[in-house]
Structure 1
């Protein structure tokens, strides 16, 4: 697991980390930059008002009472926090350029140690695709794989149900949700989500009581892609969250697989496009297991995202003047660096100050825009 030698967190620092991440306008990228710059979450919290002031806004960190309430809610659910440098933090997630700083998890953490495959696809899936997803997941879980998906309608639900039906002593299923760990979406998956949490493992990056918003789903998708050695897309339209997951998996150096479908069905066009662009065509669970057996980080698929997903924090420097280069359309941070002529550190410092001031939005894929 990541950073196995990291010293155990004190109770006060763990509390401060949660408070830092829950403070206004602090996301995974700015959290990592702040910890790197100040060393501890406590020191970072103390610096927030000054940093936001440079970005043009007054600032108050998250209230202590709010964090106390959140921690009590997590404990009441039987869940726990998992920090990015904990010994049992998943290796696959740790290798992402922007790993989730803090996860809330409920269920069996031993599933993090299993070979894993993400199974994703359309919400409005065809009956045939639902049957395929269930069949694949049943077979994979029976052979000791952890089947990872997003607990959405359609393919996701079928993947979880199939894995639960076929799980062996070692295999199982991991559900990653875009809401707080105490919120079910869609509502009809209440029983399924509870079964995933009790028999498998349920993961949330958002705080408890958070309802899922559209902007949360790409961040959830990066967790799905990061947990698994490979992502299998069963059925997907040309523009869908499943293709975002596949692109994030490719960028992370994981295997990307797709099941082909009829060109007459729009729900197959996304998978057919992935195959044309280099994803591996699979037709059985055995094909998937053959690809992932002993996966060493060298995927057979040649599908790649065209733009780099630049999440990594740089060394802090005096901020560059980049506000004039930003608009409401998301652009890659790398492009801001190129156009500004400033160093990566200077650009990242400027973006951090704008974000804390509420003037910047970060998007999955290392892109930013004005709020």
Structure 2
């Protein structure tokens, strides 16, 4: 996608869709030039102006340039609604008289963003762009900028978020994979955060249905050019090719701890509802659930053992009446896709049975000796694509280990 400076505030629409963009049914993002990108980045980077205040300023003044030109009294009035009293005056001062270093950084990042946008499949949308995902625009503290890589059309389709523990149990990983595969097969895009454990299993399940499934979206807590964690890099690259990766953070942003709870509002904001699978009592997944409730989304939780630490968060949501207890994908679909065709539940159940049989066939084919994925696909009677997807799910579950050279080895742990 090429980007050029539009006149004035940079709000002119693109003359035509980007060459690498999706089909004609999907509106192309408005082309942003250097001045416009730098303006949005300046607002995002202004000290004392967080995501909530930034979104409120755009709601009031419609564009960063108008924010910077606004009278101090008008800025004070808007910021006083969302910031503590002692923080308002410094924020107004920073908006009116930014330090030179901030302007330099915004310009540097704008140049880097223009180079990044030259790559096929890369796009950038500002909050005032008509192409900005409408369900995300409506949430409190909507992101000012949204960087996307991959199939941007997935951001406009019905979606379900699946979140949970990073140190998930084997059963939790299997549940996430199975729920995601069934929901994706039924037409729901799977949204998660690319973390280890439940997130990664949900993404793998969302991809398992292949072209017939709805796909998956990964929301990063880093710049979109930083794939984190490193252990999920291969999965992230597959999502970029077959699904979509998004981030609100400027390019190069490292994995700072505060970024991940904040990005959770985007995970829930893109979805019709959030399914929590394994969460401790003080879990980041519960932050996502709270965001979902505040955004008017449905929340679902999978129960577990009363003795398991990773069940405490799910049980707390259910006990408080904040989440619906679910045992099957059909429990989620009856609320999130109420118009699904009759009989779809039986089809989804059959798909789950088939998925489990294929996973077991792969483990049986692997036996006790390491083997390459293509050989395992032949032994198990699977396509190469299905075998690779299932091997990833088994790897995430701790049942197989990937060795150098694309070889897989079975781990002797509790099986399926």
Q: Same fold (TM over 0.5)?
A: yes
Higher relative contact order (CA 8 A, sep 6+): 1
> Is the counterpart of residue 62 in structure 1 residue 106 in structure 2?
no
Q: Within 5 A, what are the aligned runs for 1:346-357?
A: none
Equivalents in 2 of 1:15, 1:239: separation in Å?
Answer: 38
Q: State the alpha-carbon separation in 2 of the partners of residues 36 and 142 from structure 1.
A: 37
* Mapping 1:184-195, distance limit 5 Å: 184-195=227-238
Deviations 1:343-365 (A, max 9, x none): xxxxxxxxxxxxxxxxxxxxxxx
DSSP 3-state at the match of 2:103? coil
Whichever structure has more helix as a proportion of its residues is: 2
Native 8 Å contact 1:144 1:167 kept in 2? no
> Please, which of 312, 315, 332 is the counterpart of residue 269 of structure 1?
312
8 Å contact from structure 2 (residues 53, 141) kept in 1? no
What is the aligned counterpart of 2:188 among 145, 169, 172?
A: 145
Q: Distance in 2 between matches of 1:38 and 1:136?
A: 43
The yes-or-no answer on 1:40 pairing with 2:66 is: no
Pick one of 223, 231, 254 that aligns with 2:274.
231
1:72 pairs with 2:95:
no
**Unaligned residue ranges in structure 1 (runs of 5+):** 1-5, 296-371
* Secondary structure class of the residue paired with 2:232: helix
Q: In structure 1, how many angstroms separate the alpha carbons of the residues matched to 2:273 and 2:211? A: 20
Contact residue 138 and residue 167 of structure 1 kept, 8 A: no
Aligned counterparts, 1:88-127, within 5 A: 88-127=131-170
Post-superposition shift, 1:218? 1.6
Choose 1 or 2 for highest CA Rg: 2
For residues 181 and 45 of structure 1, the distance between their equivalents in structure 2, rounded to whole angstroms, comes to 27
SS at match of 1:62: helix
1:7/1:65 Cα in 2 relative to 1: closer, same or farther (>3 Å)? Answer: closer
The answer (yes or no) to whether the contact 2:54–2:141 under 8 Å persists in 1 is: no
Match of 1:285 in 2: 329
In structure 1, what is the equivalent of residue 225 of structure 2? Answer: 182
Q: Counterparts of 2:88 and 2:243 in 1: how far apart (Å)?
A: 45
Alignment of 1:1-371 (within 5 A): 8=13, 11=33, 12-36=35-59, 38-45=61-68, 54-55=89-90, 59-60=98-99, 61-63=102-104, 65-78=107-120, 79-169=122-212, 171-278=214-321, 279-294=323-338
Distance 1:282 1:96 in 2: 26
Q: Number of residues paired by the alignment?
A: 290
Hey, what's the Cα distance between the residues in 1 that align with 2:332 and 2:108?
45
TM-score (norm 2): 0.64
Per-residue CA deviations over 1:88-118 (Å, capped at 9, x if unaligned) read 2222212212111111111111112221100
Q: In structure 1, how many angstroms separate the alpha carbons of the residues matched to 2:188 and 2:314? A: 23
TM-score relative to the length of structure 1: 0.72
